[in-house]
Homo-oligomer: A and B are copies of this chain.
Amino acid sequence: MGGPEIERLIELLSRLPGLGPRSARRAALTLLRQPQTRLLPLADAMQRAGQSVRTCSRCGNLDSRDPCSICTDDHRDGSVICVVEGVGDLWALERAAVHRGLYHVLGGTLSALAGIGPEDLNLRPLLSRLEEGGVREVILALGATVDGATTAHWLADRLQPFGVTVSRVAQGVPMGGALDVLDDGTLAAALMARRAG
């Protein structure tokens, strides 16, 4: 179908999350129809990103600078570090613009099933930052899953000697969420964490 170049392009596109074989073919066709304005600019953007983007040695974020643009931003509050599982979570918090401190990307959660232990997580740089001092609070913004809760518990233990406040993001009813579609676990958590009206 159009030679090996087209077939390889479709195959690699179909491995992207969110694209199956059908939509990969459609995407390839869209790109191939406008090589100068769509295909080559995207190839170029990928090349540049691949060459310039690296993992921040301080926080684990992905950026074209190391330390990343968040770690080096003077306007941010260096005394509060928000620990997230992955870079996608960091992006979500940045889009919401709800955290003005720094981040630390753990690179995963502890998982007995997946065989991920403490040594597989990006913990050491976080401890170094706490040893340096100047950190007042560590917010654990991990997912509300069994692995997320386990990791938060273990992390709170590990951070205790540093004498910083360790907090966790609240669980409860999501904004705009109707009660009758929520699962029992969320309902229980929301009820237990109820606040005075």
Contact = CB atoms under 8 A, between A and B. Distances in A.
A182 interface: no
A93 B104 CA distance: 51
Determine the interface band of chain A, counting residues with CB < 8 A from chain B: 35 or more
Given A3-B63, A13-B42, A53 B32 contact: yes
B3 A15 contact: no
Interface in A28-83: 28-33, 35, 38-50, 52-53, 61-65, 68-69
B29 A65 contact: no
Protomer copies: 2
A32 B18 contact: no
A17 B6 contact: no
Contacts of A19: 16, 18-19, 23, 27
B52 A46 contact: no
Nearest to A23: B18
